[in-house]
Amino acid sequence: RDKVIIDTDPGVDDVLAILLALASPELDVRALTITFGNTLAPSAYQNTLKLFACLSREFAANPSAETRYAGNLIPAEREGGKKLVLALGAEGPVGGERDLAAYFHGTDGLSNISQTHPHFTPPPLPTSGATHDYLDIEEKKPGYEVMLDILRSEEEGTVRIIALGPLSNVALAYRADPETFKRVREVVWMGGALDVPGNTSPTAEFNCFADPYAAQEVVEAVTSGAFTLTMCPLDITTPHTIHFDKLIHDVEAGGKTQEQPLKEFISAMLIRVRGLMKSFNLPDAMEMHDPMAVWYVIATVGTDPRVRVGGQKTGKSAGWPEGWEGVKRVFAVERKGELSRGMCVVDRRGTGEQHFIRTEG
């Protein structure tokens, strides 16, 4: 099993990605660190608790469902026997203004289910000393410190960070203690748009747009050789969709709400998204942005990302699992541009130089 930290801003597709990770026996999920992004950080934190409250209800209704998640949720079945850590992280970008994605994810970050399905809201946790069946609620340390603690205590090169939101927590962790951060095996980030248009502006993908300063700090660190970054940009995530018919269940009409809490939760989240996709004249299918990053990690469990060098084709001999292909790209992130904030400015000159060079005379 690969140890992973999931840095996330739930977020509709973040919820799908977290569920995929928790249900994957290949992954040992050590922590969920929360960032602002799709919604405010405290809402993203609450959304995570809503998901866990729903899982508890699901296991009460369908005890066999628990076995699928046991290796990541049940403390006695987790490696090391400790609970999964949940920590609140960055409330805003490390540079520039805060922008959220309420137009897509709703003001609560979960398609406004806090209004349409208020029974999903778990009772508030006490402000201190909170206990939870599955979660070790970190109250003192911010998300980036939790990341560093895990990187410090685990063997070097064994922990992967799956970043599903703006890179603020990742950048803060690297800033605070670069030597410890370099112990990471790989950062896998759903973010950026390299050779396709953006989804937040004509030029930018949302996670890159939301904190372009953090993204550029991470890109600079990676360019200097500090650690490995594997991106799942829109180029690869947008084409990977699942038809809404496969994801949305008519549990309420069937009167089975009490029996299938998880299906109800997912369906309630996705109904609004389905309407949005229709209004944009897009296919009747959910784009699997964040789940793609988790899929990549599952597909590469136990492998060394450093052998998956750019330009090599698919296949095990190139270090990639069958069906996957990696391409090395040189780019920088635009931080301020009037029209291009968060754009990945790809250097297609093939010189391998990261930065633009101005020559005199």
Residues that bind ligand BDR (CB under 6 A): 11, 13-14, 38, 101, 104, 164-165, 190, 199, 205-207, 289-290
Q: For Ca ion, which stretch binds (CB under 5 A), given 50-58, 86-94, 160-168, 209-217?
A: 160-168
Angstrom distance (rounded) from CA 188 to CA 228: 8
- Token look-up 């799956």 returns 162
Contact letters (x/-) for Ca ion, 269-298, by CB under 5 A? ---------------------x--------
206 binds, among ligand BDR, Ca ion, none (CB under 5 to 8 A by kind): ligand BDR
Q: For Ca ion, which stretch binds (CB under 5 A), given 7-15, 54-62, 318-326, 336-344?
A: 7-15
Neighbour-count burial of 7, counting CB atoms closer than 10 A to its CB (0-12 exposed, 13-18 middle, 19+ buried): buried
Q: How far is the CB of 290 from ligand BDR (least distance, A)?
A: 5
Residue 325 has, within 13 A of its CA and on its CB side, a CA count of 8
Contact letters (x/-) for Ca ion, 12-41, by CB under 5 A? --x---------------------------
If the CB atoms of residues 10 and 71 are measured against ligand BDR, the closer one turns out to be 10
Nearest to 269 by CA among 18, 6, 7: 18
Q: How far is the CB of 97 from ligand BDR (least distance, A)?
A: 17
Angstrom distance (rounded) from CA 108 to CA 42: 10
Nearest to 330 by CA among 233, 222, 236, 244: 222
- Structure tokens belonging to residue 332: 């920088």
199 binds, among Ca ion, ligand BDR, none (CB under 5 to 8 A by kind): ligand BDR
Query: Do 44 and 37 contact (CB within 8 A), yes or no?
Result: yes
Angstrom distance (rounded) from CA 205 to CA 238: 11
If the CB atoms of residues 165 and 326 are measured against Ca ion, the closer one turns out to be 165
If the CB atoms of residues 11 and 212 are measured against ligand BDR, the closer one turns out to be 11
101 binds, among ligand BDR, Ca ion, none (CB under 5 to 8 A by kind): ligand BDR
DSSP state of 343: B
Residue 185 Rama label (left phi>0; alpha psi -120 to 50; beta): alpha
DSSP strands (E only) in the chain: 2-8, 27-34, 84-88, 135-138, 159-163, 186-190, 229-232, 241-243, 285-287, 331-333, 344-346
- The distance from CA 3 to its chain's CA centroid, rounded to whole angstroms, is 15
144 binds, among Ca ion, ligand BDR, none (CB under 5 to 8 A by kind): none
From 71, 142, 165, 261, residue interacting with Ca ion (rule: CB under 5 A):
165
Q: How far is the CB of 105 from Ca ion (least distance, A)?
A: 9
Contact letters (x/-) for Ca ion, 194-213, by CB under 5 A? --------------------
If the CB atoms of residues 104 and 181 are measured against ligand BDR, the closer one turns out to be 104
If the CB atoms of residues 7 and 28 are measured against ligand BDR, the closer one turns out to be 7
205 binds, among ligand BDR, Ca ion, none (CB under 5 to 8 A by kind): ligand BDR
What is the number of other CB atoms lying within 10 angstroms of the CB of residue 324? 17
Q: How far is the CB of 167 from ligand BDR (least distance, A)?
A: 11
Angstrom distance (rounded) from CA 85 to CA 119: 25
11 binds Ca ion (CB under 5 A): yes
Q: How far is the CB of 215 from ligand BDR (least distance, A)?
A: 12
Q: How far is the CB of 190 from ligand BDR (least distance, A)?
A: 5
Report residue 232: phi and psi, to 5°.
Answer: -110, 85
Angstrom distance (rounded) from CA 264 to CA 54: 9
- Tell me the sheet residues that pair with 135: 84
Chain contacts with Ca ion (rule: CB under 5 A): 9, 11, 14, 164-165, 290
